[in-house]
């Protein structure tokens, strides 16, 4: 075995490379990243780092000495251009790097505004990398106008940071309500009210016709005929998995790089994990965009690359921090047909419980850690709890849990 090469030095890639060493693998391990920065956390980019509460050193996933001490060859500023499956090499920075087994952990790319709609104007940003946030940092000056495009969790987090830094915020969402793709109306209502109470101007069911300006953005023409003036724009309209080199190499693609339950792609010597990988989940294929999945899936793939045969059993969980509100999500609410709403211990806490056919699918817990922990335990145990029992979690005995 020539060695293990990991393409993509984000959370999944760093976790995978570290795990194969921790499991005692003594062959060569190469971790290739296209950014100049060692592996770091991405979630704080739109929260503490953007706000200025978290410095660069605290973003790093590992101390700078870790990679050398563990004999992991960390190649930075080295985007991989291609995979030669016959020769078992990847081409990075003009250099062919041989592999015995290859792991693809490239993550995702942010969706951007079309160039024809002004997406290439100066002052239009996306948030995905450290360089993205560093490039926009000087824009966050009190009194300036920020236009946020996208009413998902990332857009709302950016809006909250902007408010804290004294900006005037307008947020545009093309769907009838914010968070429509990921949450039930009560969760949307809570966060709409939260942001409006902080002065954010939220325009739902509204599309951007085009961004205006000569060289630099100065405004946005909306579908309702209004033109909104702005000093800069942050686009937060989702991501797409990075599959380019995998597709060019002939690997199967299906909502990401297609893997089996072990994390193996259509090539037996190539594996994939993290946001760029899709895997079988409860009779369908799933691709998850969360830190927990990146770590758990990457570590399972590491074990399987070294001879294991474990199937991945995803336990999705997510979180979002906005102002002084913490949202914790357990499970996936896809396909829910009923919800139960629980009032929390105070006026600023609540939880939404999602059901399909009597089975608990997911829980949104807002400033309600008790609800989150109870829901997560029940979901992880593949059990459920009747909607009428979630109204007072303190009285839920284990006997209320059952397998539907």
Residue 347, pLDDT above cutoff 90: no
For range 366-382, the mean pLDDT? 92
- CA trace torsion 48, 52, 56, 60 (10° rounding): 0
Task: Write down the pLDDT at residue 401.
Answer: 57
Look at phi and psi of residue 88 and say left if phi exceeds 0, alpha if psi is from -120 to 50, else beta: left
Closest listed residue to residue 238, CA positions, set 340, 352, 355, 150: 150
pLDDT in the model for residue 396: 57
Looking at domain 4-109+239-305, its CATH class is alpha beta
Q: Could you tell me which of 87, 78, 82 has the C-alpha nearest to residue 30?
A: 78
Give the chain's largest Cα–Cα span: 66
Please give the C-alpha separations between residue 119 and each of 145, 211, 237, in angstroms, as whole numbers: 18, 7, 13
- Which secondary structure element, helix H or strand E, spans residue 232, and what is its range? strand 232-235
CATH topology match: 112-235 vs 324-400: no
**pLDDT tens string 53-62:** 889 999 999 9
pTM over 0.85: yes
DSSP lists the bridge partners of residue 220 as: 211, 228
Residue 92 has pLDDT above 70, yes or no: yes
Query: Could you tell me if 224 and 206 are in contact, meaning their C-beta atoms sit under 8 angstroms apart?
Result: yes
CA distances from 258 to 146, 276, 287, 314 (A): 38, 9, 10, 16
Is residue 291 pLDDT above 90, yes or no?
A: yes
CATH architecture of 112-235: 3-Layer(bba) Sandwich (3.50)
Indicate the domain borders of the chain.
4-109+239-305, 112-235, 324-400
CA angle 316, 151, 180 (to 5 degrees): 60
Superfamily in which the 324-400 domain is placed by CATH: FAD/NAD-linked reductase, C-terminal dimerisation domain (3.30.390.30)
Q: Report phi then psi at 232, rounded to 5.
A: -160, 165
Mean pLDDT within 112-118: 95
pLDDT at position 394 is 62
């Amino acid at each position: 075995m020539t060695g293990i090469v990991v393409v993509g030095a984000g959370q999944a890639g760093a976790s995978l490379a570290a795990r194969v060493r921790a499991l005692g693998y003594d062959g060569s391990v190469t971790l290739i990243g296209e950014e100049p920065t060692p592996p770091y956390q991405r979630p704080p980019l739109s929260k503490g780092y953007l706000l200025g509460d978290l410095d660069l050193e605290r973003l790093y996933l590992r101390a700078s000495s870790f990679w050398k001490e563990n004999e992991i060859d960390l190649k930075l500023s080295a985007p991989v251009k291609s995979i030669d499956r016959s020769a078992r090499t990847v081409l990075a920075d003009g250099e062919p790097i041989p592999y015995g087994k290859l792991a693809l952990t490239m993550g995702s790319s942010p969706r951007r505004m079309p160039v024809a709609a002004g997406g290439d104007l100066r002052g239009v940003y996306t948030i995905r990398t450290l360089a993205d946030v560093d490039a926009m940092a000087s824009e966050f000056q009190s009194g300036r106008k920020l236009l946020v495009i996208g009413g998902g969790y990332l857009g709302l987090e950016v809006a909250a940071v902007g408010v804290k830094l004294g900006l005037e915020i307008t947020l545009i969402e093309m769907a009838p309500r914010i968070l429509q793709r990921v949450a039930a109306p009560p969760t949307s209502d809570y966060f709409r009210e939260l942001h409006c109470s902080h002065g954010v101007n939220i325009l739902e069911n509204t599309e951007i016709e085009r961004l205006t300006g000569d060289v630099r953005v100065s405004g946005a023409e909306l579908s309702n005929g209004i033109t909104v003036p702005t000093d800069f724009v942050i686009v937060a309209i989702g991501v797409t998995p990075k599959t380019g080199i995998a597709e060019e190499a002939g690997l199967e693609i299906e909502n990401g790089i297609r893997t089996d339950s072990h994390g193996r792609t259509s090539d037996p010597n190539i594996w994939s994990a993290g946001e760029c990988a899709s895997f079988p989940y409860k009779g369908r294929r799933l691709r998850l965009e969360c830190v927990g999945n990146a770590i758990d899936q990457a570590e399972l793939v590491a074990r399987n690359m070294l001879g294991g045969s474990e199937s991945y059993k995803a336990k999705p969980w997510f979180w979002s921090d906005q102002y002084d509100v913490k949202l914790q999500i357990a499970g996936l609410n896809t396909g829910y047909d009923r919800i139960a709403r629980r009032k929390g211990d105070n006026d600023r806490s609540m939880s939404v419980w999602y059901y399909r056919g009597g089975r608990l699918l997911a829980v949104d817990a807002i400033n309600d850690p008790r609800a989150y922990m109870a829901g997560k335990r029940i979901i992880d145990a593949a059990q459920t709890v009747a909607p009428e029992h979630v109204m007072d979690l303190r009285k839920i005995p284990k006997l209320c849990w059952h397998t539907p």
